[in-house]
Structure formats: structure tokens, C-alpha cells
Structure 1
């Protein structure tokens, strides 16, 4: 048996390729939208991508199962659990098999047994792998998707908070409690291959270790220590992070069927006047991916600063409207990677790139000032200053600067009317990365008296 793990650090998402070396067939579990890494690996190792399988309708990234079915004729194994609201709508025209609890299928000589594990979502399933081609009748491991993570379990409140499906969080938490009873019956030796790691918003305490065992999770995972349903439900629902707004769109896209990607060339803007015109267009979202310090020292008015780091994809999903055209300011060497990051969450409307050097052609660049903790203290008691803490609720509740106002970064658009334009705005987060994004967003929205307290709340505490 061949096995390989793939990890998207910007989404903290794991996918897995399993191949039968005797037959040359391979399956990808929970494939990411861009399937080139699987294609390259299959070609190198001598496999055909004959199948893909989904543990559930994903909320945090666009699935690549549809792309594999179209490009390679891969057979797609999808959940047939849950009610009508949780049925896949794109199976006509592709080779798809709907599976339920207790079903089994093979890829070559490798068996996958389906286990219904609702809680994170009603239709969620897991796959127990047995390498029968290697002569084993004992299962080796389980692909748990967003059911059991290393040190945590999938959150059940996404449907209610992100997709607006009322009264589902408590029901999902109860389902999770009963699904975990099934997990506790699994053999201790079983390897656990989760769908996400630390940094994902699909749980609240995910570990950074890429895999675990059923026995270890039974001993150490907080969720598996509970024996009383009510206490479990209460703890599971407490302190879950805010779900990114784009999660609702991902559910819709993955349920109805992601569009098939093509390799059309995106035009490159060479004129600063054209770039400035696009930045002034309310139907266009211009993202400047330069480091925050460079952006602060000079940028096109109306552009949003999102440095291309590990948090780029998440905040692009939070702040970009799906009906807006997107222009990216970035050097040539990482444009392809940026495009793929945006497409991984369905932000496909990239109409142009612009080189960072174009910015220097402008004669009317905007700037903002980065200040330190002392710079904030000097202004904190002024009635003409409005301090914004853009961290998440949990961070705010654990401690904040006296006199600050809480406006979480992802909800800035909805809260602009609550922020005074006749005062100087000082923005901060925990360490400066998110506040740089927030400062640029507010400045583009018309808050021109603005500063960024770059050391953040961590600097304040020190």
C-alpha cells in the first residue's frame, strides 16, 4: 500500500492519497481544489487517480472531488446520510457512489468501511482503512475528516453561526456525543488521520501533530473524557471561535458542485492610472500583498493590505465579497500561488494582477503611521481618539486595553456605522498582523485619521 499526506498550511487542511501498488489505482480522501499535487505524485509513483472520497460537505475549502471526476474520470464516494438538505446535487454526469453507515468499497485491494459520524455536520462519515492487498484483515486506520482531530473534535455550531441554520448547534453537539461513543469502541491501535490541524476554525483546540491513534485520543482528547451528555454539550459549544463568513458560501459550493477550473491567463496591469481607477470602483476589491510596513509607507488609495502569509486565505475569505471582481498587487514569482489560495475558497473572480513596482508611479500615495505602546498611552485618555481592538471574542474576553472598543476584524464591514469618523482611530490586535489588515480596510472605507499600534495587545501586556 502507498500512503501520502498533503497539507495546506493556509487552511490547515489535510488530504490523503492511498494507492494499491498491485493494481496501480489510487484514491484521494478529502481532496483540495487544486489537484496538481495529486497528479504529480500519481505520475511519479505510477498510479492512476481512479477515486476520490469526501467525509462531508466542507465549509472551509472548495473540494477537488468534482475536478478529479471531470479531469480523470475518478469515481467519487459521497455521503448519503443526513436529510434532504445534506445531499450532493452534482452527481449527475459523473461516476458517483453514495454510501451509508456500514457500507464498504475497495480501491484496488484496499478496503474502506464507512462509519456515519454526525455531529460536525449531519451527513458526516469517516472511512476505516484495511490493507487487504497487504494480507491484513485488521483495520489500520481511520480517516476522521472533521469528526475527531488530534486533541479536539469538530465543532457543531457552524451550520447555525455561518450558514444561518437555526437550532442546529445543540442538536449537532448531542449527535457528536453519540458519535464519540462509537469512536471509543474502535481498536486502540487504529491510526487517526484527521481533516485539519492547528489553525483551522473547524474546532477550538486542534493539535499541530499530523496524526494520532484511537487509543491516544481516548486517553488525552478532552472530548473523549466526558461521560455525561449535558456536560459534554456545554463544553463543546463554549468558546468556539467566530466562523469565517465565507464558510456559508463553501457549503453551498460543495453541495451544488464546484466549478471546474481552467488555466486561463490573468491579465497584468501596467498603468497606475488603471490601478487607481479599479481601486476606486466599489465593485472591485484590490488586495495589496506587500508586507505591512511597505504598505504603510505608501499605497494606492482604496487598496486593502493582506500580506501573503499563513493567514492570507482566511482573511481574504472574511473580507472579500464573492460578487466582487478581484485585483491582486503582487510580484510575479508568487502570483500563481496567490491565485490558487483564493481559488481554494472559491474566490475565482480574479480579473487582473499588478506588479508592486506600479505603485511607485503614483503621485498621490496614501500612508498611515505605526505607533508603539507609548504612542498609544500618550493618546489613550483623549476624547478625540477611538481605540479599536479587532481580535476575536475569546481574546477580548480574556483581557483588553481599558477604554478600547471591540470590533472584530471579520465584522468590520457590518460595524463601520458604529465607528466615529470625526475621531482619530487607533487599531490593534494581538501582535500586529491582523491590525495591519484592519487599518488598511478602515482607511479604504474613509477613516483617514488612523494609526496602527503595531506591538498589539501582547506589547501592551509586556
Structure 2
């Protein structure tokens, strides 16, 4: 039997290759969109990709199933569970609870495990030459290490009213079945720590049924109502792009030619200036300190780090052009992170802001404020503190009197921010606040500054925070 996990840190996404070396065949489960990694492994191991499997219609990344099918000719094995609203709208081999199929000598049994989504399925795998007993459970977004898949995304991100509680109750029932598996069965989920598909995902890459029965908070409940309340409480804000992923993963869409990663054209300073004058969004992927020191006016700073894909999905529109400022040696990495969430329409990239800063063009700076300076302004009463962290972070402890608007919702709530007062923007450590402050400068809030080090620096300096007594943030 052949097994390999492929882990993409940016979206905390795990995909898998499971196959039979005797037959030289392999299945890929929940593939990312840049599929060259699977092709390379298959070639190295002398395996042929014959099956492409998905556990559900994903919300957090654009599946590479159709790219793999195009390149390899493999069959798509997808769920036909969940009812008419949750059906894939392109040709595939439909799977239902209890179905089985073979990849060489490896047996796959389909479990319908609704809750995270109505159509969700999992795969119970048996290495038949070794044993008649199952050894692996590919749980998708059903059971994670230390957590379970959130059931609120369809309602909060995609607008399907009434699905949140129903999904939570379905998940409770699915977990009762999961508990009946032997303790030794390995659990291989589709996500790890950092994913927005749950609220408490562990960093361990895989687990066992027995370990989860002992340590996973969600498997400790016997009372369904108590489970539902605990599950729906404290879930993180679902990124805005999730609704688009649901649509693109369900319907016919453009497939990358031969599965290749696009090569973006390099833009001159004059070309990006022409785009800027047309109002084209410019995303600067450099680190926040370089951006603060000098950037193209109106550009937004989304640093090329592990959170880049998620924040690109919050900020970049799918129906409007955008351009990048990124060093050439980062370009392929940035492009991969963009196509993994379906952002294929970049007009090109500028390699160096110095190429734009010619003929009298002046780079803009992003003003910074230390926590000590912030404390003095608060004492003087001449500053508005804007906290752009998520709701649970704010509730756990915030600066007294702070205005709370999550960074992902900022663009829809600009009318809450004063233009006639100094506004000091902070997050936990300065990354999200750099996004938020640069976005506010794009909308001509020239009175905004970024608090260096965020609330972590504030607390480390000995300044006080207070917990929330109730939620006051507006959620869109």
C-alpha cells in the first residue's frame, strides 16, 4: 500500500495519495489546485493516478480535481448525498453511503458524514492484502485532530438560512457513528491548525479514533442540545471568499490548461501607473516594514506569509482586476497561493516600487505609532483606538473604549470610522493592522496610523486590557 500526505501551510490544507503499488495505481483525496505536486510524486513512485476523490464541496480552497482529471484522465469520485441543492453539476462517479470501490488492492468504503455540509462523505480504507479490517479513515472536514468541522459556513458565508443548527445536529449524529470505529483506526483530516473550517484544530497532522475519543472536546458530549450550543459558540469569522469557493467547486468552471501554474507578465512602472489611475487594486506582498517605508499610493499590504491566501480572499474581488507588487523570486509562490482560491485574474506584477517612483512620482508611507505613544494619546483623549482582531480575540481582552471592527469587515463599515480624529489601528502583532491601515489610506483616511506590535506589545509593556461583557461588534 502507498500513502502520502501533502500539506499546504497557507490554507492548512491536507490532501492525500493512497494507492496500490502492486497494481501501480493511486487515488488523490481532496487535491489542491496546483496539481504538479501529485504528478511529480506519481512519477517518482511509478504510479498512475486513476481516481480523484473529494469529501465534500469545499469552501476554503478551489479543488484541483478537474485539473487532475484533465491531465491524467482519472475518474472523479464525488458525493451524491445531501439532496438536490448539494449536487456537483459536472460529470462524475456518484458516491453514496455504503458504496465501495477498489484502487488496486486497496478498498474504499464510503460513509455519509453530514454536519459540516449536507453532502459530506468520508472514506474508510482497508489494505486488503494485509488485513480484512480497516486501518484508515479519511475524514475531510468531519473530524479534525482535536476538533470537528463547523456547521455554520453555509449560513454565514453562503447565505443558506436555517442550515446552521440543522448541520450541528447532523454532525452530532455522525459523531455517534464515528465513535463505533475501532480505536486503532487512523484519522486523516483535510485541515490542521490555522484553518477557518473549525475553531480549535490541533497541530498534529493525524490521529486515531481512540485518541480523538479521549481528547477531542466535541466527542465528550452525550447531550445533543449542549453539543449544539458548544459547537456554534466562538467560531471564527468565515472569510468572504468562501461563498465563491462553494460556487466554483460545485459548478462548471475554467480549468488551468494542462494543470500549469500561470506565468504573470512583468509590468513597468508606467503600466502599473496606468492601472492605478483606472482604480485597479494593487496588492503589495512585501513585509509590513518595507511597505510602511514606501509604497505606491492606494496599494494594500497583504504580506506573503502563511495567511496570504486567506487575506487575499477577504480583500480581492473576483470580478475586478488587480495587480501585484512582489519580488520576482516570490512570484511563483504568490501566484500559487492566489490560484488555490481561484484568483486567476491578476493583470501582472511590479518587481520593485522603485520602478514606479520615477518622473516625480512620490512613494507613500504608512505612519506607525508605538504603544507608549498610544498610551499618551489615550490619556490626552485625542485618539480613537480601532481593534481589527476577530470577535473572540476582542472579547478575551481589549483596550478600554476601543472601536471593534474585524479587518475583514472593514470595507463595509467605513462609515463607523471618524475622519476628523486620529485613529490608531491595531491587531495582535501588526500584520492584520497593516492590511487594515493601508486599506483605510486607500479610502483617504489619512488620519490613521498602525500600532507597531499590536496588543501583544501593549500587554508586554504592562498596559491594561479588559474582557468583553457582551458582544458589541457588527458582523456582516
TM-score band by shorter chain is over 0.9
**Deviation, structure 1 residue 360:** 4.3
**Residue in structure 1 matched with residue 469 of structure 2 by the alignment:** none
2:58 is aligned with 1:58: yes
* Aligned equivalents of 2:98, 2:263: Cα separation in 1: 46
Mark the runs of 5 or more structure 2 residues left unpaired by the alignment: 461-476
Residues 50-104 of structure 1: CA deviation (Å, up to 9, x unaligned): 111000000000001111111111111100100111000011xxxx210100000
**Residue in structure 1 matched with residue 300 of structure 2 by the alignment:** 304
**Residue in structure 1 matched with residue 208 of structure 2 by the alignment:** 213
Contact 2:146 2:201 in 1 (8 A): yes
Which of 401, 404, 418 does residue 403 from structure 1 map onto?
401
**Residue in structure 1 matched with residue 20 of structure 2 by the alignment:** 20
**Deviation, structure 1 residue 47:** 0.7
* Aligned equivalents of 1:332, 1:115: Cα separation in 2: 45
**Deviation, structure 1 residue 427:** 0.5
* Aligned equivalents of 1:281, 1:194: Cα separation in 2: 44
**Deviation, structure 1 residue 279:** 2.6
* Aligned equivalents of 2:312, 2:38: Cα separation in 1: 25
Which of 233, 237, 240 does residue 235 from structure 2 map onto?
240
* Aligned equivalents of 2:411, 2:53: Cα separation in 1: 37
Which of 409, 412, 416 does residue 414 from structure 1 map onto?
412
**Residue in structure 2 matched with residue 191 of structure 1 by the alignment:** 186
**Residue in structure 1 matched with residue 274 of structure 2 by the alignment:** 277
Residues 312-343 of structure 1: CA deviation (Å, up to 9, x unaligned): 11100011111111211111112111111011
Q: Secondary structure at the match of 1:198?
A: coil
Residues 129-178 of structure 1: CA deviation (Å, up to 9, x unaligned): 1011x332111110000000000000000001000100111000000000
Contact 2:33 2:64 in 1 (8 A): yes
2:63 is aligned with 1:40: no
2:344 is aligned with 1:343: no
Q: Secondary structure at the match of 1:269?
A: coil
Residues 398-437 of structure 1: CA deviation (Å, up to 9, x unaligned): 1111121001100011011221112222100011111111
2:70 is aligned with 1:70: yes
**Deviation, structure 1 residue 381:** 4.2
**Residue in structure 2 matched with residue 386 of structure 1 by the alignment:** 384
Contact 1:280 1:302 in 2 (8 A): no
Q: Secondary structure at the match of 2:378?
A: coil
Contact 1:63 1:258 in 2 (8 A): no
* Aligned equivalents of 1:445, 1:87: Cα separation in 2: 41
2:201 is aligned with 1:203: no
What are the within-5 Å matches in structure 2 for residues 431-442 of structure 1?
431-442=429-440
Mark the runs of 5 or more structure 1 residues left unpaired by the alignment: none
* Aligned equivalents of 1:398, 1:265: Cα separation in 2: 44
Contact 2:273 2:356 in 1 (8 A): no
**Residue in structure 2 matched with residue 6 of structure 1 by the alignment:** 6
2:287 is aligned with 1:291: yes
Cα RMSD (Å) of the superposition?
1.2
Contact 1:66 1:258 in 2 (8 A): no
**Residue in structure 1 matched with residue 167 of structure 2 by the alignment:** 172
* Aligned equivalents of 1:90, 1:422: Cα separation in 2: 53
**Deviation, structure 1 residue 190:** 0.2
**Residue in structure 2 matched with residue 149 of structure 1 by the alignment:** 144
**Residue in structure 2 matched with residue 230 of structure 1 by the alignment:** 225
Contact 1:276 1:301 in 2 (8 A): no
Q: Secondary structure at the match of 2:131?
A: coil
Residues 227-274 of structure 1: CA deviation (Å, up to 9, x unaligned): 000000000000000000100000000000342113554221122x33
Contact 2:282 2:298 in 1 (8 A): yes
**Residue in structure 2 matched with residue 112 of structure 1 by the alignment:** 108
* Aligned equivalents of 1:223, 1:459: Cα separation in 2: 34
So what's the TM-score if we normalise by structure 1? 0.96
So what's the TM-score if we normalise by structure 2? 0.94
Contact 2:77 2:93 in 1 (8 A): yes
Contact 1:66 1:257 in 2 (8 A): no
**Deviation, structure 1 residue 384:** 4.3
* Aligned equivalents of 1:255, 1:238: Cα separation in 2: 28
2:447 is aligned with 1:449: yes
